[in-house]
Structure 1
Amino acid sequence: MQEVAPDKHLRLDYEPDREYAPAMGAARIVAQGTDDGGAVRQVVRTGRMDGRSVEQIAYSNFGVARVEHLPGNIGYLKLTRFVPAYLSRDTLRAAIALLAHSDAVVIDLRGNIGGAPDAVGELLSPFFPASGGTLELHAAENRAEGIRSAVTTDPVLARPALATAPLYVLTDKRTASAAEMFAYAARRAGRATLVGETTSGAGNGATRQSVGNGFVLTLSEWRILTGPGWEGVGVAPDLPVAAEDALDRALELASEAIAGQTT
């Protein structure tokens, strides 16, 4: 399949122990936008990207692996997955509350394989001022459905200190999909410095569909509209360093930035 259509999301997996039947609740709505006539339309899919049960996802703390207050008043968040906001919202907001008074923040997306775009908007929103209103972070189109979808900031989630704090995002070659979206959107908005390695290059939004007998097809359906995107090329860091050195380098940069600020 990759020889015919070299798309990083395109693949067939055998996962007999996971369920990609109709998703639950808000997760069934994978996009909402307007058609050519301006009418609001919702795109609903039978499959979801993450076949783990809610209990299994909760066991991973909804992707929040570590939240720390580091010396120099630097906040650190390690995120392993972007879990749909209807599941992860409380945990993400709790993490942000612990980071809210940091003078600089490092978000570690090394090894993060992606997930739900709405969680990208949830996590990035606190880093933009409420006075700026709603900002479009990412937009894509599904031509088959005739619909445009967008990920935006929510001014209600703005945190004054975080809106001005230097933000550093760590990436490596395994950073993929929604994690790449986060890094790409944060830098495109002029809000983050990327440190580490060029990411995977899985840019086109996809869904996962059961095709029977335990097989699951991952198929891209969305084309990026905000800039050239990163499909096949990845998101290049502002400061290229080996993945294992990325955190140390980001902490050095954060300390230098803080030292240059007037308190």
Structure 2
Amino acid sequence: MLLKSLFLAGAACCAAAPLLAQAPAAPSTLSADQLRAAVLEPGEGRKVADTLADELTGKFVIPEQGRQYAEMLRANAAAGRYDKGTRGDLAKLITDDLMATHKDGHLHLSVTEPEPAGGNSGPPSDFPKLIQSAKWLAPGVAYIRPSAFFSTDDEIAAFKAFMRDHSTAKAMIFDLRNHHGGRLGEMDVIFPYLFAEKTPLVRMEMSRAIYDKFGSPFGEAPTLEFAKDDARITATHYAVPGQATPLRDAKIYVLTSNATASAGEHFALAFKSTGRATLIGEATAGANHFGGPGPVGDHFTVWMPVGRTYDIKTGQDWEGAGVAPDLAVDPKQALVVALEKAGLSHADAVRIDATEVPLEPVHKDKVRAR
């Protein structure tokens, strides 16, 4: 699923201008299915491949890989690989060719879909409920299961209420096993309750040229501190303490799976790197590189990765590998384990787990952050 107009990666946080130079196509009266089923016009596939090659050469987060993508696309276009089929066929074929060259958890081409009424400030109509569950699971044990961090006004308000209303918890469980990614807003509501001192969490970097042309894909929030040189922009994401509550001493558990993607992985790494929480489950999806969508010609959109988020201590990011849990367990059992760690009996943990059913599978054979 392409979450349009969001920066969905480790630093994903803010809607921003498209990352390509062309103006977006005019609104279409056709449905998304009709747009994907449209047959390619003569030469259209080659033009799309050549345009995308140019953009990857100038913008992709790892320049050498961007050049290799471009060489592949131009060679395939010259050989006629992209001359036939529908626009949906072309988007899938080019995306598959890109992934065969270098796997990336976000990079993909899609057919540009009609803008929904009212714009793209919120999730697509078919997106799971943003907050699937938020409650006390047991005395002193708070629990929240978000599908993403879209930073809508309603979602920010809901997180503020949850943290405030559960500020006396002795244990708090963040269930990210179905988390698709998103923005920083929700994190910046959560972290002030859990850290007693200003604490660096993760670091994000991108090309200075891309930053100067398109602005900051992760916003200019007070929790970010920027360092700039001629080549790179680096932003450090901090936890900034708020009013002291018992949550500063609470045990924190983060549930992860290979469906935990993008900004969900940023959230998990922030806790893992600082040691403030225990991660329970399996390694996350491995979709690190942040960026955003932009038009490729009149009928296609590329999700272009332009930067990376990494562990301040090691300099390593999680692209491809994911964020490893502290306690590796079957993600289907992660909530049971967390409840036991919080002091519940196994029988009570199993009983409660049976009442909390995620809206999507908590383990996927193949995961892409779309």
Between the two structures, name the one with larger relative contact order (CA 8 Å, sep ≥ 6): 2
Q: Aligned to 1:207, which of 284, 288, 292?
A: 292
* Unaligned ranges ≥5, structure 1: 25-50, 257-263
User: What residue in structure 1 maps to residue 239 of structure 2?
Assistant: 153
Larger radius of gyration: 2
Post-superposition offset of 1:123:
2.3
Q: Aligned to 1:54, which of 116, 119, 122?
A: 122
User: What residue in structure 1 maps to residue 103 of structure 2?
Assistant: 6
Q: How does 1:189-200 map to 2 (within 5 A)?
A: 189-200=274-285
* Unaligned ranges ≥5, structure 2: 1-97, 212-231, 345-370
1:105 match: secondary structure:
strand
Q: Aligned to 2:114, which of 17, 34, 45?
A: 17
Cα root mean square deviation, aligned: 2.5
The amino acid across from 2:101 in the alignment is: V
Matched, 1:70 2:137: yes
2-structure distance, mates of 1:159, 1:14: 48
Change (3 A) 1:142 1:196: same
Q: How does 1:43-122 map to 2 (within 5 A)?
A: 52-54=120-122, 63-84=130-151, 88-122=155-189
Q: How does 1:134-153 map to 2 (within 5 A)?
A: 134-143=198-207, 144=209, 145=211, 146-153=232-239
2-structure distance, mates of 1:205, 1:55: 18
User: What residue in structure 1 maps to residue 58 of structure 2?
Assistant: none
Change (3 A) 1:87 1:181: same
Change (3 A) 1:247 1:148: same
Give the structure-2-normalised TM-score: 0.55
2-structure distance, mates of 1:240, 1:55: 31
Change (3 A) 1:72 1:209: same
Q: Aligned to 2:325, which of 223, 231, 237?
A: 237
Matched, 1:123 2:220: no
Post-superposition offset of 1:60:
6.3
Any idea what the Cα deviations from partners look like across 1:214-246, whole Å, max 9, x if unmatched? 432111111234231211100111111111111
2-structure distance, mates of 1:52, 1:242: 35
1-structure distance, mates of 2:152, 2:190: 9
Between stretches 213-222 and 199-208, larger displacement belongs to 213-222
Aligned length: 220
Post-superposition offset of 1:91:
1.9
Any idea what the Cα deviations from partners look like across 1:29-80, whole Å, max 9, x if unmatched? xxxxxxxxxxxxxxxxxxxxxx8443868x966x222111122310001111
Give the structure-1-normalised TM-score: 0.75
Structure whose residues are more often strand by fraction: 1
